[in-house]
Amino acid sequence: MARMARMALLYLLLTLFAITTLAPFLWMVLTSLKPLEEVERLHPFPSTWRFDNYQQVLVQIPFARYYFNSLFVAAWVTFLTCLTSAMAAFAFARLRWRFRDGVFRLYLATLMVPGVVTMIPNYTLMVKLQLLDSYAGLIVPSAFSAFGTFLLRQFFLTIPAALDEAAEIDGASKWQVFWDVVLPLARPGLITLALFTFMGNYGSFFWPLVLIKSEHLRTLPIGMLFFDSTYGRQTNLLMAASLMNIAPLIVLFVVAQKFLVRGIQMGAVKG
């Protein structure tokens, strides 16, 4: 009886926690369906369900263009981050070279540097490379990740080194060992890194705000500022645009969550 009571209490606490977690999302959904004059009211449900708020978003801003820009930049950053992180992780996990461990510690030390600190150096570099107001300027600074290298290195360490030796005995080069042996076995880790990278860059706000001036290059988070300007805040339309913005991420997470959990668990086996 006592065990059943503890389980019931546990389920009750988990239910309350789930409701608390979902409350902001539910508020966003309901607000996106309200008329503007009802946004500040305490009553959660709208008196009139305004599904045309979503249509107004598509009319007032070039949503499709901003959406394409966000997907395009996030996809390229994800691809380049996975590639560069995998190559660096292979060098740190599989190759033997002088000062390898020391360099890896210095590499990890960059994780403690806040992104705001590197904002001005990155901007100065983009100015010198003439990459301001361009797709390349949005993609290149984010194409390298110390976290991604650390994550994949930990994952590569779980793959038996005997597989490398067997491939080398058969005449495989280091590149072939990396591309044909290690990388296919590291698929869960790559998917995990790809998910983290895509979700992090898809919603990036500050760097595109600093770098981009042309309207046709704006990403979706920047484009949504149109609904929160000095001319007035259209909260209902802002919430409708936000919901359309995060919907792909929710679908992506639900579809790939098993790969995400598996990748994190397997990557934490060996340090």
Give the Cα separation of 53 and 225 in Å (integer).
Answer: 16
Q: What does the DSSP 8-state code read for residue 173?
A: -
Helix (H) or strand (E) holding 228: strand 228-229
Find residue 229's DSSP bridge partners.
232
Cβ neighbours, 10 Å, residue 253: 13
pLDDT given for residue 86 in this prediction = 94
Sketch out the chain's domains with CATH numbers.
Answer: 60-267 (1.10.3720.10)
pLDDT given for residue 117 in this prediction = 86
Taking the chain, what is the end-to-end CA distance rounded to the nearest angstrom? Answer: 43
228-246 average pLDDT score: 82
The pLDDT tens digits of the residues spanning 3-15 come to 888 888 888 898 8
The pLDDT tens digits of the residues spanning 63-115 come to 889 999 999 999 999 999 999 999 999 999 988 888 888 999 998 898 888 88
175-203 average pLDDT score: 89
